[in-house]
Amino acid sequence: MKKTVLITGAAGGIGKQTALFFADKGWNVIATMLHLLEAEELNNNPSIRCYELDVTCSESIETAKQKIILDNPKIDVIINNAGVGYRSFVELSEDKKIDTIVDINWLGVVKVCRAFIPVFRTQKNGLFINISSIAGLVNLPLGSFYHSTKQAVESFSECMAYELYDLNIKVCTVQFGNAPTSFQKNVTKCPATSVKSYNDLMKKVTDLLQKKSNKNTNLTPLITEKLYEIAENPNKKFRRYTIGFDANLMKFLRRGLGYRLFNSLIRKYTLK
């Protein structure tokens, strides 16, 4: 029997590429997105079915869930991929934009997991793969909101894994760096200001992250392949998976150097 994966935020970027990869590997794919108009080529793949689902809205999740479980006798894996970026100085941050990134990046994961735990519990099996980021492990300037949501995903996932262990429901997180998708281009940024140091730092960080994204030409296939590997061989115990040279290097440096030296390294490359 073919396995089934549900992927949130599948209209583009990593979510879309993951949906196509799993379909190519013979899985049934449930691709969810805000609007079905975003489905495009996914609709042309016989192994992919698209559903409207807003991860910030419990009612939308429940409506989509009812349709999904009617069409799919079993769901083996859920990949919580939906996410957005917000690059802003704390002083210039806006309530609405803070609410948006928290609602999507963290509470969206919480609400989807909460809705589908009963499905996994009834099945007596299931795997949540929650997409985090290397931002869930290390901190960079202008990342106060994005990084904190990803660290929240890490903590939430680990706590939830304890609760679900005896139910044979598995949980893991996946961390990676800047993939060459449209994500960086679509990151919401605070506007220019009269504070010169703010403007200079925004430009430096934005250019640095975009440069890293452009260099990571092989990262997207590494991510999709690793997600597939995890889905095919889920670990009973909670795991954090780190993908790509940048993420693994940052993880190694953070652990090896300790907080003070690592903090000095970040200052050197971003503040000077």
Classified as helix, coil or strand, 50 is: strand
Per-residue pLDDT of 30-77, as tens digits, reads 999 999 998 888 999 999 999 999 999 999 999 999 999 999 999 999
**Do 172 and 129 form a contact (C-beta atoms < 8 A)?**
yes
Residue 185 has a pLDDT of: 62
- Which DSSP string do the residues of 111-148 spell out, in sequence order? HHHHHHHHHHHHHT-EEEEEE--GGGTS--TT-HHHHH
In the predicted structure, residue 196 carries a pLDDT above the cut 80: yes
Give the residue-averaged pLDDT of 92-106: 96
pTM of the prediction? Answer: 0.91
Residue 179 has a pLDDT of: 63
Per-residue pLDDT of 243-269, as tens digits, reads 987 777 777 777 777 777 877 877 776
CATH number of the domain at 76, please.
3.40.50.720
Position 35: which residue type? H
In the chain, the number of structural domains is 1
Domain hosting residue 84, numbered range? 4-270
**Residue 226: its H or E element:** helix 219-232
**Do 135 and 146 form a contact (C-beta atoms < 8 A)?**
yes
Mean pLDDT comparison of 33-47, 48-62, 80-94, 180-194, highest-scoring range:
48-62
Which of 210, 147, 142, 224 lies closest to 178, judged by CA? 210
In the predicted structure, residue 148 carries a pLDDT above the cut 90: yes
**Do 39 and 106 form a contact (C-beta atoms < 8 A)?**
no
